Structure 1
C-alpha cells in the first residue's frame, strides 16, 4: 500500500466477499487502536459489537450484494479496548485480481456527533425559548387586556365619582359647584366670541309653609317634581342645577334678555299649572344677562336682586335685572 493511501485522512479497509480483512491503512488502525497484524486476516466483525454485527448482516451485506455499493451508512466500530467509535462508511463491491472484494472508506464521526448534539441542544433551547416567549407574549396580552379592562372600569368609576360630585343627590340635577364651573366657562366663551348668555334664578314661593304644613317628605317631593319639570322644559345645552334649599338655577347659552324673559315666563307658567302629586306651587324667577363688565359674582347678584323684586312684587312672576327699579 503506497504511503499516500496509508496516511490518508480517512480510514480504508478492504474485505473479502465473506468479510475477511485483506488490507487496511494506518489511519484505520489508529482509529481503532489495532496493530496491522491484529486485523489482517481477521473478520471485520471482530471490530464490532453484537448489535452492530447484526446491523452489518441485516443491512450492509444484502445492500452491497444487491446494488454493489453502500453510501453513508452510519454505525459503530469497536476499538481494541472495546470502546465504540461512531463512523460513516462508504463501500463498493468490485473484482480485483480474480477475487471479489469490498473496498470501504471510513470516516470517524465523533466531531459531527458532538456538533449534532450541540445543534440539537441549541434547537431544544431555541424551542424552549420560543415557547417561553410565546407564553410571555400571551401573558403580556392577558395583562394588557386586564389593564385595558381595569382602565375602562377606572374611567367609569371616575365618571361616576365626577357625576356624584357634581350632582344634587335629592333631585338628580347638577349641583351648585357644577353650575359655577359652567358659569365661568360661559363667561370665558362670551369674552372670546361675544355670544350672549343669561341665567335664571328660581325660588319656590312659600316653601317654608309647605314644609311646616305637610312635612319635609312632601317638601322633598315638590323639589323632585319641580326638578323634573325644569329638566323637561330645558334644552340639552342648558345647565339646570339646584342652587340650594328651594332655589334652582338655569344657565341659558346663546340667550339674550328677550329670549331669557320668554324662557322664564314659560318656566313660571308651567310650574303654576302643573299638579305635583296632588300639590300645586308657584315660583318666582329673577333673570340676568351677561354684559361686558359682568363677572360670575355680579351676574348671580343681579339675578338674585331680580328674584327679590319678583317676590316683593307679589311672587309667581318673572323679573329681569334690567327691570329692577332703583338699582
Structure 2
C-alpha cells in the first residue's frame, strides 16, 4: 500500500475514516501495519496489502467461493483460455469489448472488484495512462497475488487490497468507473454488491458486470443441458432484479457463445426523476401524482354511474369534477366558507 492511500480507504462496515498505526515502510510503500477505525475495527496490512475482508466471519457461500478460488489458482490462467476456445471466441477481443463499455479516459480512477489474476486488470490499466489509478480487489489471497505480479510493470498506479465485493472500503463517489467480471454468481449478497458498486462510483460513471448465465430461450436445449452439467452456474438466475435504483441507461448483452451476460449502466442519483404533476388531458384528467395519492373509499355502482353522468354534463374531467364536489361537501359539513 502506498503511503497516503490510507486516507482514501474507509472502514467497509461503518464507512468511517481509518488511521494508520504500527506502520513499517520501505520508501513510500507501507509494508505492514494496522488500519483502525473509530469503531475499533482493525484491518491488517501484510506484504504491502491491506486486508479489508468483512464480515470478519464470512458467510458459508463466501468461504466456499474463496476456497474454490484458492484451490484452482495454479491452473487458472493455464485453463481459462479453453472457455473462449470452446465457443470460437478471441479472448483479448472479448475482454477489450467489455472494457470499452466503461468509457474510460486517461487519468481515470477505476475500481475492479473480483479482479482475479488480472486478465482484465491489465487491459483496464492500458486505458488509464500514467496519471490513472486502478484499485484491484479480490477475496482470494492467491488470486490477488497473481494479479499483483502481473501488474508490476503497469503504467498507472495500481493499488491492491483483499476485500469482499459487497462491503467495499471506500467512501461514496470515489471512482469514475467500476468493473467486475466473473464470480458474481457465488456472492452471498449480489444485491448489496451492486448497490456498493453504485455507492462508490460517481454519478455519471459507468459500471460493467458479468458472469455465466444461460439465456431463457436456450434453457431447454441439449446445448444448455451439456453446459449446465459441466458447470451448474450456467443455470443461475440473471440478476436484473438485483440492480440498484441508481442504474440508468441499462444495457444487457450475452457474450462468449451467448452464455455469459454483461450488464452495463450509468450511475444516477437515487430513484429516477419524472414530471408527475402536469395535467393529463382527457376524460379522466388529474396528474400522475393525484391519480396515485388521491384514492378515496369505494362507492356503489349506482353512485359511480351518477357521477359519470354528472361529469359528462359539466364537461369537466373526472378529476376536476370530483375535486370540486368533494371540496364543496367537505367545506359545507365542516362549516367553512368557500
Same fold (TM over 0.5): no
Decide which structure has the larger Cα Rg and report it: 1
Q: TM-score, normalised by structure 2?
A: 0.22
Answer 1 or 2: which has greater helix percent.
1
TM-score by length of 1: 0.23
